Amino acid sequence: MTVVYVVLVFYMLRGWMQVPYFKPKQTSVHTSVSVLIAARNEEDNIARTLNCIVHQDYPKELLQIIVVDDHSTDNTAAIVASYASRGVTLLQLNEGDKLNSYKKLAISRAIAQASGEIIVTTDADCRMDTGWLRTVVGYFEESGAYMVSSPVAYSEEKSYFERLQTLEFLYLIGLGAAGIGNKNPTTCNGANLAYRRDLFYEMGGFNGIDNLASGDDELFLHKVAEKYAEKIGFCKRKDAIVYTDAKATLSSFISQRRRWASKSTKYRDKRVVWLGVSIWLFNLSLIASFVQFIIDLPNFNVLFLVAFGMKVLAELAFIYPLCGLVNRHALLANLFPLSFIHAVYLVYIGVAGNVGKYDWKGRKVN
């Protein structure tokens, strides 16, 4: 299992290296864009996010901003409404407590009102540099892509727990980029995802995946990849990064990762499912070897140390260039403890994410 895991990591490293750094050749952009945000109880974050978007270095006549309020019980809607004079449109859901996937509904409603040729989705707790939209749209115009995934990174950490999440999250973003580089897209993040509006309707929107609470990003990516894998790109450039926050508590972290894991068995491409199962089995075997290590069986001591050492070295090779993209090489000091903690939590999440319900923004969903 260690050999399988190491081979997979280096295959992903190859995919990352296959994605070139984007170096814009043109200084102007000409495509209309609709930026969409689905927000629920985000009064503490939404103003900062909207300020980042309205101050984008992008032609105002080509930019539309739509926020869909998902039954917020705080001041989210009022804050968004205060930006009306700055070009922000507020839509409000009024569906009651009868759906499992409010976010997909919110995005679909926003796209129905969107005028932009390109749809860009982000979250209500994100931050961007002023060149973010210009960079992403420039990539569309120069590459001819139909769908573009771009980097997301945690920042402004307040604890050691959050710094560990930042390093682990970079690994996940790297896996998404690597899949695209290997012409086998597997994952992306809806906090920084863009696609052509016509493509959304050609793919039938979220039809077929609209019963799942999660998956407005990955599962839609898979629908597109079935037909246009070669037209999916990754914008590897610092200007394209969207920044967000790590989870402050263990319970909120577990809830988030259970939500992400809940869609893992729903992938149409079963190769992706088997990839996840292989990684899960490796981490389970690593934990089993650690138990044997604790009870001091000499043969298993060697097995565990070799396996764990190979895991750390392979992950270091993969994550080093990712830390370079965000200028955070200092995070690598946390790789050794994270590598073992990650194995334990991955085994747990692999089971918990596919069993029962979990809490998401005050709702119990499947």
pLDDT tens digits for range 289-334: 888 777 776 565 777 888 889 999 999 999 999 999 999 999 999 9
Question: How high is the mean pLDDT of the chain?
Answer: 89
DSSP string, 207-231: TTTTTSSS-TTHHHHHHHHHHHGGG
Burial class (CB in 10 A: 0-12, 13-18, 19+), 61: exposed
Paired tokens of 46: 């939404």
Q: How confident is the model at residue 123 (pLDDT cuts 50, 70, 90)?
A: very high
* Residue 364 confidence (pLDDT) above 90: no
Share of the chain above pLDDT 70, in %: 90
* Contact in structure between 138 and 224 (CB atoms under 8 Å): no
The pLDDT score that the predictor gives to residue 290 is 81
In the predicted structure, residue 286 carries a pLDDT above the cut 90: no
The reported pLDDT for the residue numbered 258 is 82
Question: Looking at residue 75, what is its pLDDT?
Answer: 96
Rounded CA separation 234/46 (Å)? 26
Does the 20-159+179-248 domain belong in CATH 3.40.800.10?
no
Closest-CA residue to 89 (of 54, 48, 40): 54
pLDDT at position 295: 76
124 Ramachandran zone, left/alpha/beta (phi>0; psi -120 to 50) = alpha
What is the domain partition of the chain in residue ranges? 20-159+179-248
The pLDDT value recorded for residue 297 is: 63
Cβ–Cβ under 8 Å, residues 106 and 206: no
Query: pTM of the full predicted structure?
Result: 0.89
pLDDT greater at residue 263 or residue 92: 92
User: pLDDT tens digits, residue range 131-174?
Assistant: 999 999 999 999 999 999 999 999 999 999 999 999 999 999 99
Give the pairing of strands 242-244 and 358-360: unpaired
Q: Are strands 33-39 and 118-123 parallel, antiparallel or unpaired?
A: parallel
The per-residue pLDDT for range 8-53, each reduced to its tens digit, is 999 999 999 999 999 999 888 999 999 999 999 999 999 999 999 9
Quick one: pLDDT at residue 265?
Answer: 59
Q: Are 16 and 187 in contact (CB under 8 A)?
A: no
pLDDT tens-digit profile of 108-119?
Answer: 999 999 999 999
